[in-house]
Amino acid sequence: MGTSRNVERRTILKAAGASAAALGLAATAGCGGGTGSGDGTVTIRYSWWGAEERAQKINKTIALFEKKYPKIKVKTDFQTYASFWEKFQTQAAGGNPPDVFQNAVTFLRKYDKRGILLDLKSQVQAGNLSLDHFRAGVTKVGEVDGKQLGIPVGSNTMALVIDKKVYEKAGVEPHTGWTWDDYFKALKTIHDRTKVAGDTGYFTIMYLYDLYLRQNGKAFYTADGLGFDKADLTEWWTDGYNRVKAGLVTDLKVVQQDTPKSSLSAGHGASEFTWDNFTVRYSAEGDSTYGLAPIPTMDGKHTGQYLASLMLSASTRTAHPKEVAQFIDFMVHDPEVGKIMGYDRGILASTEQYTAYRPTDAVNKEIAQYEDDTAKAGVLGTITPHPSGADTIEAAFLRIGGDLGQGKTKVSDAVKQFFTESEAAFQA
């Protein structure tokens, strides 16, 4: 939770970034949130973002929870990504955030800084929540400065989604350990042999640039700022823009015209970097056959990859921390919940749920296999906790990179604008 070529994130990050900069949230603490009744029954509020299909699945899991815990009632609220965060900011500023809510790494430091997020370690120590039986490395995504601010429900990692038919026609075969030089040569081969752009716009994807930086001993973020300089970004964006001009990368005007479809699904590009569990969208949108390919490397080995995650967080203002912890524990560990949710929010994070759900369709089987292979390869590192303001910065990277790709601004001006907006986001 988190962002990439996901249409939902593409369309809402601007709104999320703008509203984040405009709204200062007061630090809050104390009691509030859920309600209680005379018979000992309590009600907790649970909010998340997503589409109707996710809501239907979550409502089924809540029915299971309320059957096991009849004295805990769950009041639900779901929105689109943009609407969720706009509403959440208003609720948090007013001292009335939901008791438990879906969260992503981009927002952990931001809302911890404002005193919104409950450190769940106290509930772990009280025996109401377990951090045992998670897939290796997953729980680290929810850790910030020694505090457990989120419990993962699913995980994913960056991958390259390819149009298999176009790659086969071009005679290009992605392989583990291929380099960036190999990948860029592949883009040219694909374009020359099929007249299709090889990529849909890699240079605008913050999380991909993070992997590239990590391969070179840096990272997109440090604990409190950017982990790269203007010269680094100038090189990255110059190379990207030159490939757009050469036709090797999809014209970003075409990318906009294809929205809400991906340009990969629309047949205007042969590959696209995104989170591995997003692969299902291409099969739903497009008419070709799509698959997952390895991330290019600098040295043939280190991809810079890590596990990201959607997670559940709790509010410091909840009046029912024990019940909230029990709810989170049930939602991340119960096998039946895993069977219901499947890979809707990524590859299931706990081993109980991961084992309980076995995908039967080809796309989800390939996603699971990709994550298994990536883990076995030993390339997964630890994600850098994002500093406060990361949501605004991600939006700026996508927007400014898009303007550059359309020729609306020069590389030097784009780089200067990005660093200026980033500094403002850190100080907000």
pLDDT tens string for the chain (428 positions)?
444 444 444 433 433 333 333 333 333 333 445 566 667 899 999 999 988 889 999 999 999 999 999 999 999 999 988 899 999 999 999 999 999 999 999 999 999 999 999 999 999 999 999 999 998 889 999 999 999 999 999 999 999 999 999 999 999 999 999 999 999 999 999 999 999 999 999 999 999 999 999 999 999 999 789 999 999 999 999 999 999 999 999 999 999 999 888 999 999 999 999 999 888 889 889 999 999 999 999 999 999 999 888 999 999 999 999 999 999 999 999 999 999 999 989 999 999 999 999 999 888 899 989 988 998 999 999 888 789 899 999 999 999 999 999 999 999 999 999 999 999 999 87
CATH class of the structural domain 158-305+389-408: alpha beta
pTM attached to this predicted model? 0.82
In the chain, domain spans: 7-155+308-362, 158-305+389-408
Domains 7-155+308-362 and 158-305+389-408 share a fold: yes
Residue 28 has a pLDDT of 31
pLDDT of residue 34: 59
Residue 24 pLDDT: 32
**Helix (H), strand (E), coil (C) string for the chain:** CCCCCCHHHHHHHHHHHHHHHHCCCCCCCCCCCCEECCCCCEEEEEEEECCHHHHHHHHHHHHHHHHHCCCEEEEEEEECHHHHHHHHHHHHHCCCCCCEEEEEHHHHHHHHHCCCECCCHHHHHCCCCCCCCECCCCHHHHEECCEECCEEEEEECEEEEEEHHHHHHHCCCCCCCCEHHHHHHHHHHHHHHHCCCCECCHHHCHHHHHHHHHHCCCCCECCCCECCCHHHHHHHHHHHHHHHHCCCECCHHHHHHHCCCCCCCCCCCCEEEEEHHHHHHHHHHCCCCEEEECCCECCCCCCCCECEEEEEEEECCCCCHHHHHHHHHHHHHCHHHHHHHCCECEEECEHHHHHHCCCCCHHHHHHHHHHHHHHHCCCCECCCCCCCCHHHHHHHHHHHHHHHHCCCCCHHHHHHHHHHHHHHHHHC
Q: What is the reported pLDDT for 9?
A: 43
Q: Supply the pLDDT for residue 37.
A: 62
CATH class of 7-155+308-362: alpha beta
For position 33, what pLDDT does the model report? 54
Residue 31, pLDDT score = 40
